[in-house]
Structure 1
Amino acid sequence: MRALVFVSLCCAVCVSQGPMFSALLPVPDDYLLSEQEFQKFFFTDSKDFLLGQCNSVQFNTAQAGFANAIGAPVTTTWRDAYLLTNLTYTMINQGLDSLAAVCTARQQFVQTLGASYDTCVNKFYLLGQGQTTFGNVLFYTHLMRHLEFICSSGFDVYQRNLDCIRKAETTDGTKYRACFYKFNATVNADPNNFCGYTETFLDCIQDYFVQECNSWVGWMECEMERVGFAGDCLNLKC
């Protein structure tokens, strides 16, 4: 089992194109899973139902506006999810004004899409458009789901505790990263209990940030991870 985990870890690190192990903006590569494991755990059973249709013209307009707001070329699309994630992380990491700018860009994105928002950022819809990978789709959908939370119910806790979050992920980062390593090891050893181990992983994240910061940050960090799994594990709680 150790060999399996080591191989998975090495592969994930080699291909990682996002800000790994950042509590400011979690990314799918944090889970140290391969492209095949992304498919197995996140795309085999459609609990994330498609409702309505995505207007491609509106989607392209909304995406161009979001890309421009975070400093990417307006030609950047959802297929460039790694770039979008990195630029979003870079802006958020600059401080409160930049965080507010990201949230404004996200709000404009949602308003442009209107009722088609949920469909346009649905992983099964995006996968069906082709010319992408499971990892890229997950990066994009996780980015949008995380921003939904950060820029709404999580905003006050997030902006009040930015310094503590940064410190917690670096000062005692070994304990923080251990949550991800354990998650990877357990789902590799027993993939049929993916959602059960996800619940344990969320508890690990929450406990760590309660200890390092406070109970509100613990809840927020747990919830920020939860939204990335919510379409596949329906009963997760923080």
Structure 2
Amino acid sequence: MLLWTCLLASLFIGFSTAADICPTPTIATCDPMVYDCCDNNFSNALNLTTCNNLPDTFSRVECYRTQMESMFGNSIDGGLNVCAAYSDWTRCLGVSLLSCESIKFHIQQGLTSGQAINVYTVYSQMAFLCGPGLDTYVNNDACVRNVFNVYNDQLARCRATFSANINNNWNNRCQDFRELLGCYQMPFQQMCGKEVGWFGCEYERSGITAWLPECSEQCFANNS
């Protein structure tokens, strides 16, 4: 893993020097101007310019998710580039990171609660992919990339089904959450084994568990 750590560190340096200089946050409350500056750096670093013309943060971040998952699917360098850009994003926002990624902030910026939750979910998934999940991705990169490529539409349907179900019956949300995790874990586990099955499950769980704390679902290597 030392080689990958050094490679990722070198990517971080490259991304950092190319970014515009944004004001350094001095308080924990998110400043929308700083957010926009850091978001612009993130988009430019990954060449997500096609997302920039979309009308609101929700649309842009959903576009980011699609393109970043494609990068993770295309090559290990693509995945490491995403993590380098996300690392710069976290450093750019500094002490205001939690506020800027929060559901509350995005509602204050005009998103609906559902849109704000989806935006928060994407940020949380990036934190997992580039943190606890990175070793699994690097050690199983070819297979993980294949799942992202082959099953991208199926994974999107897992999310859409979950959203529709909780909108129709909020009281059944924990059961719906459990089914969502199984839906995500299955293709990763069937194609790549139990460890990568956990990776797929935890990737989705990490983005949702914070706004469904009453649901105690966990990911294990033998969930499916």
**TM-score (normalizing by structure 1):** 0.64
**Corresponding residue number in structure 1 for 2:202:** 223
Taking the aligned partners of 1:217 and 1:69, their CA distance within structure 2 comes to 28
Q: 1:127 to 1:207 in 2, by over 3 A?
A: same
The Cα shift of 1:133 comes to: 4.4
- In the other structure, the counterpart of 1:25 is none
The answer on whether the counterparts of 2:143 and 2:192 sit within 8 Å (CA) in structure 1 is: yes
Q: 1:171 to 1:123 in 2, by over 3 A?
A: closer
Say whether the 8 Å CA contact 2:74–2:149 is kept in structure 1.
no
Deviation of the 1:187 alpha carbon: 4.6
CA distance in 2, matches of 1:175, 1:71: 25
CA contact (8 A) 2:73 2:149 kept: no
Q: Which residue identity does 1:56 align to in structure 2? A: P
Q: CA deviation at 1:123?
A: 1.5
Letter in 1 for 2:184: I
Output the amino acid matched with 1:71: N
| Structure 2 residue corresponding to 1:129, chosen from 109, 115, 119 | 109
Hey, what does 1:150 align to over in structure 2?
129
SS at match of 2:74: coil
**After superposition, where does 1:19-30 map in structure 2 within 5 Å?**
none
Q: Note the C-alpha offset of 1:158.
A: 1.4
| Superposition RMSD in Å | 3.4
Greater helix fraction, Structure 1 or Structure 2: 2
- The answer to whether the 8 Å contact 1:85/1:139 transfers is no
Q: Which fold has the larger relative contact order, with Cα–Cα distance below 8 Å and residues 6 or more apart in sequence?
A: 1
What's the offset of the Cα at 1:174? 10
Give structure 2 stretches of 5+ with no counterpart.
1-26, 220-224
Change (3 A) 1:122 1:172: closer
- Partner of 1:57, secondary structure, is helix
Q: What's the CA shift for 1:73? A: 4.1
Identify which of 157, 160, 183 aligns with 2:139.
160
Output the CA distance in 1 between the equivalents of 2:192 and 2:89.
Answer: 32
Counterpart selection for 1:209 from 163, 166, 188: 188
TM-superposed deviation, 1:141? 2.0
Assess, with a 3 A threshold, how the Cα gap between structure 1 residues 220 and 61 changes in structure 2: closer, same or farther: same
Q: Distance in 2 between matches of 1:105 and 1:220?
A: 21
Pairs within 5 Å for 1:56-71: 56-71=32-47
Matches within 5 A, 1:182-201: 183=162, 187=166, 190-201=169-180
1:91–1:102 CA contact under 8 A, matched in 2 = yes
Q: Percent identity?
A: 25
Q: Given the alignment of the two structures, is residue 99 of structure 1 paired with residue 75 of structure 2, yes or no? A: no
Partner of 2:3: none
Q: Which moved more, 1:149-158 or 1:172-181?
A: 172-181
Quick one: distance in 2 between partners of 1:149 and 1:117?
15
Secondary structure of the 2:48 match is coil
**SS of structure 1 residue aligned to 2:211:** coil
**Could you tell me how far apart the structure 2 residues matched to 1:74 and 1:173 are?**
19
CA contact (8 A) 1:209 1:221 kept: yes
Q: Secondary structure at the match of 1:231?
A: helix
Q: Which amino acid aligns with 1:237?
A: Q
